């Protein structure tokens, strides 16, 4: 008998690679997508909600609830870093799609996360693709959340490599470092997929052409919005391909055997020029004194990835749609 599909909530700031991950989720038989929660990052939260509703409408899945997330950081900060230069002003490749007809549910993202985790203890995986504010709010809202949630798979961090906002910080962690530190130290089963891994998973121009030539509905849609993402990568990284951050993190939740991991306590720098830096204690040294990492719960951090299989799975599933 086939295993029961994994219940997944995607916390998202769509976002071009977010759109890819959401469509991939909808074409993954291993997964039951039970909701989307929205957050600022690639766009402001209001637009993230609109885009999440729009993507579900495009997919014909308006039965899936969307819960709107926080408009401010966990410390109530309103000065947000929005990456519209990566994804276009509308977050979806400057296509100016019609506004969605559907609305988000009344519940906030954090309340929805808490409720679903409580309703299905040990069964719900959160795949967090933006700054971690909603997840940290859920942890603050319900001390049991970390016990109830099966796993938190997050796209974030730059482990032993430079960041993409600046040499220290990766965009999602930089978006709300205080929230990220709460999540890394909360004691839940946390798996971090950082850009040290996602930068190895690339969609080439040839791959995009293959998507374009297929009849897949999702593939066709994504090819339109991908143009802006390709031009950003050409400019910022001098590369002809694009990084598949969000689909890679999603697949880590579904098929962990495509990755290898290390495990240790992770803390996030919240001040100074290295604000947003993620630092793993690799436990190779027994420190003589108590440190900020001592006695903190450990998390899993992805180290290697089977990139060809990830790209193949993504392409196949998007072209089938
Ligand atoms: O300046 C940036 N460079 C690269 N990716 C960025 C930047 N800002 C935001 N993202 C977005 O953040 C996640 C990975 O860090 C991805 O979702 C990417 O699209």
What is the CA(119)–ligand 1 centre distance, in A?
33
Q: What is the mean pLDDT of residues 54-80?
A: 98
Distances (CA, A) of 131 to 3, 43, 142, 283: 31, 11, 19, 27
First-to-last CA distance in the chain? Answer: 25
Task: Name residues contacting ligand 1 (CB within 6 A).
Answer: 15, 17, 42, 83, 86, 164-165, 170-172, 195, 245-246
pLDDT in tens, 71-98: 999 999 999 999 999 999 999 999 989 9
37 beta partners? 11, 67
Residue with tokens 């990755």: 259
Please give the pLDDT value at position 3.
Answer: 79
Q: Does pLDDT of 321 surpass 90?
A: no
Ligand 1 mean position to 3 CA, how many Å? 34
- Taking only the tens place, the pLDDT of each residue in 243-282 is 999 999 999 999 999 999 999 999 999 999 999 999 999 9
């Amino acid at each position: 008998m086939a295993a029961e599909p994994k219940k997944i909530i995607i916390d998202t700031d769509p976002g071009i690679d977010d759109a890819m991950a959401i469509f991939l989720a909808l074409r993954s038989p291993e997964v039951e997508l039970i909701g989307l929660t929205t957050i600022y990052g690639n766009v402001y939260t209001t637009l993230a909600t609109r885009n999440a509703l729009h993507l579900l409408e495009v997919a014909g899945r308006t039965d899936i609830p969307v819960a709107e997330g926080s408009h401010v950081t966990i410390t109530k900060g309103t000065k947000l870093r929005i990456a519209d230069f990566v994804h276009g002003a509308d977050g979806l490749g400057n296509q100016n799609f019609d506004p969605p007809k559907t609305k988000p549910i009344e519940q906030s993202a954090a309340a929805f996360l808490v409720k679903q985790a409580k309703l299905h203890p040990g069964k719900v995986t959160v795949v967090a693709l933006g700054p971690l504010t909603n997840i940290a709010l859920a942890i603050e809202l319900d001390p049991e959340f970390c016990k109830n949630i099966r796993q938190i798979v997050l796209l974030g961090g730059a482990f032993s490599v430079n960041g993409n906002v600046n040499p220290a910080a990766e965009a999602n962690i930089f978006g709300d470092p205080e929230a990220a530190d709460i999540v890394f130290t909360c004691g839940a089963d946390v798996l971090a997929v950082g850009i040290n891994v996602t930068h190895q998973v690339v969609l080439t121009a040839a791959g995009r052409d293959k998507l374009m030539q297929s009849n897949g509905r999702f593939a066709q849609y994504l090819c339109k919005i991908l143009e802006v993402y390709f031009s950003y990568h050409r400019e910022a990284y001098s590369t002809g391909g694009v990084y598949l951050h969000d689909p890679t993190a999603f697949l880590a939740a579904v098929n962990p055997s495509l990755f290898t991991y290390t495990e240790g306590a992770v803390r996030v720098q919240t001040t100074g020029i290295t604000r947003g830096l993620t630092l793993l204690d690799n436990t190779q040294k027994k420190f003589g004194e108590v440190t900020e990492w001592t006695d903190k719960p450990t998390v899993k951090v992805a180290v290697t990835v089977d990139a060809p299989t990830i790209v193949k799975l993504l392409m196949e599933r998007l072209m089938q749609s």
